[in-house]
Amino acid sequence: MNSQKKIEQEALETVIVELERNLEVLELNYRKAVTNLKSLRERVETDDLTKLMRRGAFMRKLGDLLIDSKETGDEVQLMMIDIDHFKAVNDNYGHQTGDVVLTRVAELVRQYLRTEDLAGRYGGEEIIVAMQVSSGEAQRIAENIRAAVQAQLQVSSARRQDAERAEAKTFHVTLSMGIASTQDFTYEADVLIGEADAALYRAKRGGRNKVLRAKNIKALSIAELVLEKAAA
């Protein structure tokens, strides 16, 4: 009887060991799958050129941020950033140079943001940022980004046919920026984007290379905004 129990005990221990090994394999495969899924999601959500979020991914995360912030009462700042005279860069220096400029601007933007802040490529040379900070802090960050780009980025290799034109020899990159706050408007993404965009184009209309807060400008009608964008 004791011998039979011993055999059964050994068999049970063998089964347990085998199950533990299988579990370890499953856990390893699960971790690999999670890592692969995360990598795939990042590739899908990340813009190839700027390494910022694609517009769709940004909008989804912005929606989540605004919902959470509304529940907690935290203030969210939405920032629209546009490279001044970007068309002139492409026309005078080539689209490859334009890509380099956009990439460097994106890198400088990321340098001044925290891990939890959101940054995406909204379209063309326009970058969108959302952060859970005060209005004053957002203004400070925006001014630091603007100043860094102005100080560090310039293009000095014009196309050969333009080499003799003084204005084409060196192009100093600058940014125009607009900021809208949930404290001044609403927790609705479309409203914040519209207000920040209006401030951005008012900055361009006012001479470019500046940061404007949406609450500090007069409301623009849709027709006025369209005209400003066409002239920018």
pLDDT of 176 reads: 98
For the entire predicted model, the pTM comes to 0.76
> What distance in Å separates the CA atoms of residue 192 and residue 108, rounded to the nearest whole number?
23
Structure-token pair, residue 19 = 């199950």
Active site includes 125? yes
User: Which residues have C-beta within 8 Å of that of residue 142, sequence separation ≥ 6?
Assistant: 79, 177, 179, 211
* pLDDT-based confidence at residue 160 (cuts at 50, 70, 90): very low
Q: Give me the CATH code for the 49-231 domain, please.
A: 3.30.70.270
Model confidence pLDDT, tens digit, residues 207-220: 999 999 999 875 55
Structure-token pair, residue 40 = 């795939």
* pLDDT-based confidence at residue 169 (cuts at 50, 70, 90): low
> What distance in Å separates the CA atoms of residue 107 and residue 52, rounded to the nearest whole number?
9
Strands 118-123 and 175-181: unpaired
Which among 132, 138, 96 has a CA at the least distance from the CA of 117? 132
Model confidence pLDDT, tens digit, residues 85-117: 999 999 989 999 999 999 999 999 999 999 999
Extents of the domains making up the chain: 1-45, 49-231
Instruction: Kindly report the average pLDDT of the chain as a whole number.
Output: 87
User: Would you say residue 73 has pLDDT above 80?
Assistant: yes
Least confident span in 10-19, 145-154, 204-213? 10-19
| Apex 211 CA angle, 209 and 212, nearest 5 | 130
Whole-Å CA distances, 193 to 11, 190, 211: 67, 5, 15
User: Would you say residue 1 has pLDDT above 80?
Assistant: no
Rg of the chain's alpha carbons, rounded to an integer? 26
> What distance in Å separates the CA atoms of residue 131 and residue 185, rounded to the nearest whole number?
15
Catalytic residue among 10, 13, 125, 164: 125
